[in-house]
């Protein structure tokens, strides 16, 4: 039988809402079906709503004539989680209804039904026919959902999916009416309407700026000088340039390049307080340095309207950007100290320090050299261009930071982060990576860094044990 193209107005049948035909149907899909029955009413979700779950009516095996699946009811909602309602093409004649099953319990989750397949028993000839026994649906985000009351007979048929960028928004049941005397089969299948997912409803654009559907999403048509993916009105006091700054070490700040392959300036913060790292039309980032040892106690990043994945820094650092120079208390770190280690003398011991802390202060260079040696070996194992990193003073900057922190705190493992920083810095000298390559790199870095940390810790314990037997204990001075 050919599909029925009747237009239906709104009805309420057995508690299930039946809505008018929609103008955003992209295509109908036709899953495998059994050979009996006829098409029932065509029902649609309300405008801008799509199917997110279902329940089914199934007659369980009995001593008489069995029919298995009799009816389906879909649950629909809008993308923002509102407008929850149900649609039913026909109520069937036999069996009991299951509970509802959904793609997600979070109604604001953008997950809808977009595929379906049935369990169908073939023609039993002289035996008892049941046709469709069970139904399963595929959700947009990959899960498969089904009700627990499906019939036991038949084979699962192939999955039929909606076209790309569309989801299920309506259906019509194929049902064999009660024959009174002959073998009844109940539901024999169903056909499903696929609608274009309207990503402009609700409107994601700022201040109700016009939103236009695109094949894979939407586009905001910005007006009145607004900019960005969602046409946000930016602060008039923020700079126009775009950039990102990062933090590493305690308390060392280092920004991205201002231009591709440009220098990356490193700062040292020796006063407590909150400092601005970046403030432009997209991002406002701050860092808070604590009183004790100038440790980083908090970071705050506010994204005004940014449409990039900040996990992949090679994409960001190639943009022209501005990293704000931290205010007083944060000074340019390497500069004059580069290749002049004598300018990083041992810091006078504090009266409150233990003997071990005093000794760690005196052994800072040997301890940090152990971290750098293991970090450099790990970098070689990662295939990083160590020679280039040395020429660009990357390794020396990290070593200076380690020495400073160790002498400042008297803590022997304060510089352990040097190994992770060294491997992280190395990625700036590698070609851009795609998502899977970057993920593999991060996982490999974590594993190699942990192995290097174990080796460094053992080496440092040996250094401390050896030197503490030869270094006399000193008394604290002001």
Given a cut of 80, whether residue 463 has pLDDT beyond it is yes
Q: Where are the strands (E) in 176-231, listed by range?
A: 187-196, 211-214, 217-220
Sequence-separated (6 or more) residues with CB below 8 Å from residue 337: 343, 344, 400
Both structure tokens of 78 = 């809008």
Does residue 268 contact residue 408 with C-beta atoms inside 8 Å? no
Provide the 3-class DSSP secondary structure of residue 47: coil
Predicted local distance difference test score (pLDDT) of residue 134: 97
pTM of the model: 0.48
Does residue 124 contact residue 62 with C-beta atoms inside 8 Å? no
Q: What band does 308 get if pLDDT is binned at 50, 70 and 90?
A: very low
Q: What band does 266 get if pLDDT is binned at 50, 70 and 90?
A: low
Sign of CA dihedral 404, 407, 408, 412: positive
Cα–Cα distances in Å, from 317 out to 210, 246, 261, 278, 440?
Answer: 32, 11, 9, 14, 21
Instruction: Compare 465 and 90 and report the one with higher pLDDT.
Output: 90
Query: Which value, to the nearest 10 degrees, does the dihedral of the CA atoms of residues 253, 257, 262, 263 take?
Result: 0
Short-list 145, 200, 142, 140, CA closest to 164: 140
Q: How far apart are CA 157 and CA 138, in angstroms?
A: 13
Predicted local distance difference test score (pLDDT) of residue 175: 95
Task: Go through the chain and tell me how many residues it has.
Answer: 478
Report pLDDT digits (tens) over 48-97: 999 999 999 999 998 889 999 999 999 999 988 889 999 999 999 899 99
* Buried residues in 366-391 as b, exposed as e (16+ CB within 10 A): ebbbbbbebbbbbbeebebebeebee
Predicted local distance difference test score (pLDDT) of residue 323: 42
Instruction: Determine how many CB atoms are found less than 10 A away from the CB of residue 167.
Output: 27
Does residue 80 contact residue 108 with C-beta atoms inside 8 Å? yes
3-state class percentages of the chain: helix first, strand second, coil last, to nearest 5: 25, 30, 50
Q: How far apart are CA 71 and CA 114, in angstroms?
A: 19
Q: Which run of H or of E encompasses 464?
A: helix 435-467
- Sketch out the chain's domains with CATH numbers: 11-196 (2.100.10.20), 199-233 (2.10.25.10), 245-332 (no CATH), 344-467 (no CATH)
Alpha helices, H only, 219-345: 313-316
Given a cut of 70, whether residue 349 has pLDDT beyond it is no
Please classify residue 22 by burial: count the beta carbons closer than 10 Å to its beta carbon, then call 0-12 exposed, 13-18 middle and 19+ buried: middle
Query: Which value, to the nearest 10 degrees, does the dihedral of the CA atoms of residues 460, 463, 466, 472 take?
Result: -110
Both structure tokens of 261 = 């392959």
Q: Which run of H or of E encompasses 43?
A: strand 38-44
Q: Which run of H or of E encompasses 284?
A: strand 283-289
Predicted local distance difference test score (pLDDT) of residue 114: 92
Does residue 161 contact residue 107 with C-beta atoms inside 8 Å? no
Per-chain mean pLDDT for the chain: 74
Predicted local distance difference test score (pLDDT) of residue 435: 66
Q: How far apart are CA 338 and CA 472, in angstroms?
A: 31
Q: Mean pLDDT check: name the lowest of 152-161, 183-192, 309-318, 349-358.
A: 309-318
Residue bearing tokens 């192939």: 158
Q: Determine phi and psi for 214, rounding to 5 degrees.
A: -120, 165
Please classify residue 182 by burial: count the beta carbons closer than 10 Å to its beta carbon, then call 0-12 exposed, 13-18 middle and 19+ buried: exposed
Instruction: Compare 243 and 280 and report the one with higher pLDDT.
Output: 280
Predicted local distance difference test score (pLDDT) of residue 160: 95
Short-list 103, 50, 46, CA closest to 79: 50
Q: How far apart are CA 166 and CA 160, in angstroms?
A: 13
Predicted local distance difference test score (pLDDT) of residue 248: 38
SS (HEC) of 388-422: HHHHCCHHHHHHHHHHHHHHHHCCCCHHHHHHHHH
DSSP label of 206: G
């Amino acid at each position: 039988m050919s599909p029925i193209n009747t237009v239906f107005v709104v009805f309420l049948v057995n508690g299930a809402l039946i809505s008018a035909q929609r103008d955003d149907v992209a295509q109908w899909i036709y899953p495998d079906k059994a050979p009996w029955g006829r098409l029932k009413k065509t029902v649609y979700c309300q405008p801008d709503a799509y199917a997110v779950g279902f329940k089914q009516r199934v007659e369980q095996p009995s001593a008489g004539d069995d029919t298995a699946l009799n009816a389906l009811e879909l649950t629909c909602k809008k993308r923002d989680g509102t407008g929850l309602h149900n649609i039913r093409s026909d109520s069937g004649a036999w069996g009991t209804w299951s509970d509802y099953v959904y793609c997600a319990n979070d109604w604001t989750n953008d997950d809808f039904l977009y595929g379906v397949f049935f369990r169908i028993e073939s023609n039993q000839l002289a035996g008892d026919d049941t046709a469709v026994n069970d139904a399963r649906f595929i959700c947009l985000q990959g899960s498969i959902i089904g009700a627990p009351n499906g019939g036991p007979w038949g084979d699962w048929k192939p999955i039929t999916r909606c076209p790309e960028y569309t989801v299920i928004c309506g259906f019509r049941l194929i049902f064999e009416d009660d024959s009174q005397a002959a073998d009844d089969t109940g539901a024999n299948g169903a056909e499903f309407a696929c609608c274009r997912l309207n990503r402009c409803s609700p409107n994601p654009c700022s201040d109700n700026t016009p939103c236009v559907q695109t094949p894979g999403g939407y586009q905001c048509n910005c007006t009145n000088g607004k900019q960005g993916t969602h046409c946000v009105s930016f602060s008039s006091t923020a700079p126009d340039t775009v950039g990102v700054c990062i933090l590493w070490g305690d308390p060392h700040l280092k920004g991205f390049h201002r231009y591709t392959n440009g220098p990356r300036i490193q700062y040292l913060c020796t006063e407590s307080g909150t400092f601005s790292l970046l403030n432009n039309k997209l991002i406002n980032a701050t860092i808070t340095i604590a009183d004790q040892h100038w440790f980083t106690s908090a970071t705050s990043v506010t994204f005004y309207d940014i449409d990039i994945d900040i996990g992949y820094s090679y994409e960001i650092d190639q943009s022209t950007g501005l990293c704000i120079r931290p205010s007083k208390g944060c000074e340019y770190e390497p500069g004059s100290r580069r290749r002049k280690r004598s300018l990083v003398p041992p810091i006078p011991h504090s009266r409150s320090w233990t003997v071990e802390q005093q000794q760690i202060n005196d052994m800072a260079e040997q301890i940090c050299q152990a971290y750098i040696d293991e970090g450099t070996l790990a970098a070689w194992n990662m295939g990083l261009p160590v020679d280039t990193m040395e020429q660009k003073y990357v390794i020396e900057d990290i070593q200076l930071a380690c020495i400073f922190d160790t002498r400042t705190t008297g803590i022997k493992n304060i510089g352990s982060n040097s190994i992770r920083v060294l491997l992280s810095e190395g990625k700036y000298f590698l070609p851009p990576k795609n998502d899977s390559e970057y993920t593999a790199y991060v996982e490999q870095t974590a594993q190699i860094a942990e192995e290097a940390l174990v080796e460094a810790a053992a080496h440092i314990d040996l250094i401390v044990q050896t030197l503490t037997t030869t270094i006399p204990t000193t008394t604290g001075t002001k």
